Structure 1
Amino acid sequence: MLKWIDVIRFASTGNPIPDKKVVKTNEEWHTLLTPEEFRITRLKGTERAHSSEMCSLFEPGKYACVCCGTLLFDANEKFESGTGWPSFTQPVTENAIAYHKDISYGMVRVETLCNTCDAHLGHVFPDGPGPGGLRYCMNAVALKKVESNERKATFGGGCFWCTEAVFNQLKGVTKVESGYSGGKIANPTYREICSGLTGHAEVIEVTYNPDEITYDDLLRIHLSTHNPTTLNRQGADVGTQYRSVIFYRDEAEKKAAEQAIAEIQSAYDEPIVTEVAPLEYFYKAEEYHQDYYSNNSEEGYCQVVIDPKLRKFRELFKNKLKDTKEGELK
């Protein structure tokens, strides 16, 4: 999660490296853009406040650069700022946006540009909602809505190395990231959450296509692939950071989680103690935690703890697995 100190650092010492660069002449941009799009993005113009209906649109989807099509923002990070311009709390990736110091009009501001093609997008300010506190104030003309059927779900079931390995093998799941949620501090580190004092749980954020796998499917798989009856514990891992939890994004997900717990209770002798709580923020864990099983499958923990869990999971949910070559999975 980016914070104002990160924005200042990028604007002062250099921007993150983009995945690619798109370079065109003004003449070439003229042929691709409308006159207003060209004025805003290539000549650093500003559209009139409240001139776009994009300010009041909050449907799921993503927003891309109107010039080069690079994904910049997710609708989940969009909020009503009351300024008259579409506002977001975070970009989709840290390297999607470039930042430049802007001293025009007698003010000191931070200009935001598409890091791929240098299109002017707007400005970023340190007066947004928590926990990041950023407000990306964008010109609607600089963005184009990209329809997306992707949804996200956030679960905790003990060590996130295990849960990530399970959900990565499901059809319809496009991405799984390990991280932290449910605690009291922003941007926690692994060392901090291991103390048990921050209140965060080790969780995974699952990005999935509901046309291929449903949220109800994910709930049943989550509750069946760890022990939801042990409080603040999974096997040898003990502490609140290892608690069983479902973080919901809306009332429909809350209701589905409560119903799934009620339905699966009969499969357990002890009461299910899985916490059902609203998602406030997902903090991505350090890079060495991502795809841990894939990158470290020969290590002792993976062979002794994760491999047996995966074998049981694949037996229970054969029809939910991604198509793989024979022998590719252990």
Structure 2
Amino acid sequence: MLKWIDIVKFANNGNPMPTEKVVKTNEEWQRLLTPEQFRITRLKGTERSFSSEMCSLFEPGKYACVCCGTLLFDAAEKFESGTGWPSFTQPVTENAIAYNKDVSHGMVRVETVCNTCDAHLGHVFPDGPKPGGLRYCMNAVALKKVESNERKATFGGGCFWCTEAVFTLLKGVSRVESGYSGGNIDNPTYREVCSGMTGHAEVIEVTYDPDEISYADLLRIHLSTHNPTTLNRQGADAGTQYRSVIFYRNEKEKGIVQSVIGEMQPAYGDPIVTEIAPFEQLYKAEAYHQDYYANNAEQGYCQAVIDPKLKKFKELFKSKLKDTQKVKADE
């Protein structure tokens, strides 16, 4: 998660490397854009406040650069700032946006531009909502809405190496990231979380298509692939960082969580003690934790702990596996 200190460092010391660069002449951009789009994005213009209905749109989806189509923001990070311009708390990736010091109009501000094509987007300010505290104040003309049915779900069920390995195999799941959530410090490290003093749990964030797999089914799989009846413990892993937890994003999800836990309770001899809490923020874990099982399948922990768990999971939820995994499960 980017903070204001990160933005200042980018503006002063150099921006993150873009995934790609798109370079065109002004004449080429003029042929592709409307006059207003060209004025805003290529000539650093500013649209009138409250001039776009985009300010009041909060449906799921993504927002891309109107010039080059690079994805810049997710609707989940959009909020009502009352300024009259669409406002976001974070970009979709750290390198989607570039930052330039802007001293025009007698002010010192930080300009935001598309890191792919250098289109002027707007400015970023340190007066946004917690926990990041950023407000990306964008010109609506510089953005185009891209329909997306993606949803996110965040679970904790012991070591995130195990939970990530399970959910990566599911049909309808496009991405699984390991991280930390539910605690009381910003940007925790793995070592800090392992101390048990941060309040954070090891979790995964699942990006999924609800047309292919439902939130309720994700919950059922989560509750079936770890022990939700042991408090702050999974096997040999003990501590609040290994607690069973489900972070819901809205009241509808909270109701589904409660319903699924009630549905599954009779299958367990002991009470389910899974924590149910509102989602606030995911702090992405260090790079070496991502895709851990895929990159370390020969490691002792993976063979002793994750392999048996995956075998049981594939037997129980064969119909939910991606097609390539169904073939492997039959072998």
Q: What is the TM-score when the length of structure 1 is the normalising length? A: 0.98
Counterpart of 2:67 in structure 1 is 67
Report if the CA contact (8 A) 2:318-2:329 is conserved. no
Corresponding position: 1:7 with 2:7 = yes
- Distance (whole Å) between structure 1 residues aligned to residue 218 and residue 84 of structure 2: 38
Corresponding position: 1:25 with 2:22 = no
Counterpart of 1:246 in structure 2 is 246
- C-alpha displacement at 1:112, in angstroms? 0.2
Counterpart of 1:322 in structure 2 is 322
Other structure's SS at 1:281 match: coil
Counterpart of 1:191 in structure 2 is 191
Letter in 2 for 1:245: V
Question: Where does 1:271-282 land on structure 2 (aligned, <5 Å)?
Answer: 271-282=271-282
Counterpart of 2:166 in structure 1 is 166
Letter in 2 for 1:187: N
Other structure's SS at 1:132 match: coil
Report if the CA contact (8 A) 2:314-2:329 is conserved. no
- Distance (whole Å) between structure 2 residues aligned to residue 329 and residue 224 of structure 1: 21
- C-alpha displacement at 1:51, in angstroms? 0.6
Counterpart of 1:262 in structure 2 is 262
- C-alpha displacement at 1:328, in angstroms? 8.8
- Distance (whole Å) between structure 2 residues aligned to residue 327 and residue 309 of structure 1: 15
1:139–1:186 distance in 2 versus 1, CA, 3 Å: same
Other structure's SS at 1:17 match: coil
1:316–1:34 distance in 2 versus 1, CA, 3 Å: same
Other structure's SS at 1:118 match: coil
- C-alpha displacement at 1:189, in angstroms? 1.1
1:209–1:8 distance in 2 versus 1, CA, 3 Å: same
- Gaps of at least 5 residues in structure 1 are none
- Distance (whole Å) between structure 2 residues aligned to residue 259 and residue 185 of structure 1: 31
- C-alpha displacement at 1:237, in angstroms? 0.3
Question: Where does 1:126-205 land on structure 2 (aligned, <5 Å)?
Answer: 126-205=126-205
Counterpart of 2:293 in structure 1 is 293
Work out the percentage of aligned pairs sharing the same amino acid. 81
- Distance (whole Å) between structure 1 residues aligned to residue 313 and residue 266 of structure 2: 19
Other structure's SS at 1:165 match: helix
- Distance (whole Å) between structure 2 residues aligned to residue 329 and residue 125 of structure 1: 54
- C-alpha displacement at 1:186, in angstroms? 1.3
Q: What is the TM-score when the length of structure 2 is the normalising length? A: 0.98
- C-alpha displacement at 1:183, in angstroms? 0.6
- Gaps of at least 5 residues in structure 2 are none
- C-alpha displacement at 1:282, in angstroms? 1.1
Question: Where does 1:41-80 land on structure 2 (aligned, <5 Å)?
Answer: 41-80=41-80
